[in-house]
Amino acid sequence: GIIATMTEQRKEYLFKVLVIGELGVGKTSVIKRYVHQIFSQHYRATIGVDFALKVVHWDGETLIRLQLWDIAGQERFGNMTRVYYREAVGAFIVFDATRASTFEAVNKWKNDLDNKVTLPDGRNIPTVLLGNKIDQMRGGLLSNKQQMDNYCDEKGFVAWFETSAKANINIDEAAKYLIDKILDNERSYSRNLPDPEALELNKDDDEKSGCCR
């Protein structure tokens, strides 16, 4: 869940974010780029789940601990996903912009996600669509922006980005966008219904609702 603590002026959040999509679309690469600023042509196939942590200094008074859950893409791991998705507050669905079949599978991943995890208020978790490996597209970006916008509206994605983990294109931007959406959600709960888990975990400073502006 979302845990917020307040130490003087600073606010800390812990967000669980999923990274899902077909096998070999570059999920691990996207995370390694975002967390460690590195890229390698070959990362070992992810078996089950890989966990990464990134601390984001969002603004002068907000610190975000982002748990990134890199989930294996092969169908075989389907029984595990329910356990992996639990309590996530945001997600990236990644496809390989050079392989149409991985885009065709996006819908399946989105449905799986929406069926297995929701926000405490019952809404779907904010999800950003990433078309990765655009460095390998010759002749520039050929996606039809209007159609992609329509697709995202229709399927319930909050946004889409063309990314390259290799060339470091749009990864930070996409993450910022998603975090922003998660923060919006978090702020709206704090106003309306304080997260009981957060209160329980932070008994000594249950000023929680008071600290949100």
Partner 1 sequence: MSRSKQNDRETLFLEAIAAPEINLKQIRKLCSRGVVETCGIRAVCWRLLLYCLPTKRSLWQQELTRQRSEYNQFVQEIIVEPGLKRFNTGNAESSFEDHPLNPNPKSEWNSYFKDNELLLQIDKDVRRLCPDISFFQNATKYPCEDLTSTESKVETLRKRVERTALNSQSLTRKRLGISNVSCYYYLISSRKQASHEYQVLMEAGQEAHWEVVERILFIYSKLNPGTSYVQGMNEIIGPLYYTLASDPNMDWREHAEADTFFCFTNLMAEIRDNFIKSLDTSASGIEGSMNKALCLLRETDPQVWLLLEKQGIKPQFFLFRWLTLLLSQEFNLPDVIHIWDVLFSDERRFTLLTAVCCAMIVLLREQLLINDFSHNMKLLQNYPMHIGIPTIIDKANKINKSMK
Residues that bind partner 1 (CB under 8 A): 14, 23-24, 40-51, 53, 65, 67, 72, 74-80, 83-84, 95, 97-101, 103-104, 106-107, 131, 133, 136-140, 142-144, 147-148, 150-151, 154
Nearer to partner 1, 124 or 143 (CB): 143
Give me 29's structure tokens: 């690469």
- Taking CB atoms within 8 Å and a gap of at least 24, the contacts of 74-83 are 74/23, 77/47, 77/48, 78/112, 80/48, 80/49, 81/20, 81/112, 81/116, 82/116
State in angstroms the smallest separation of the CB of 187 from partner 1: 23
Nearer to partner 1, 23 or 159 (CB): 23
Nearer to partner 1, 8 or 154 (CB): 154
Nearer to partner 1, 34 or 103 (CB): 103
DSSP for 62-73, written as a single string: EEEEEEEEEE--
State in angstroms the smallest separation of the CB of 204 from partner 1: 16
- Which SS3 state, helix, strand or coil, does residue 33 take? helix
Cα torsion 79, 83, 84, 86: sign: positive
Q: Which helix (H) or strand (E) holds 192?
A: helix 171-192
Nearer to partner 1, 23 or 167 (CB): 23
State in angstroms the smallest separation of the CB of 98 from partner 1: 6
State in angstroms the smallest separation of the CB of 201 from partner 1: 11
For residues 56 and 64, the answer to whether their CB atoms sit within 8 Å is yes
Nearer to partner 1, 77 or 209 (CB): 77
State in angstroms the smallest separation of the CB of 186 from partner 1: 18
State in angstroms the smallest separation of the CB of 188 from partner 1: 25
Give CA–CA dist 3/100, Å, rounded. 38
Q: Which residues pair with 50 in a beta bridge?
A: 70
Give CA–CA dist 87/70, Å, rounded. 15
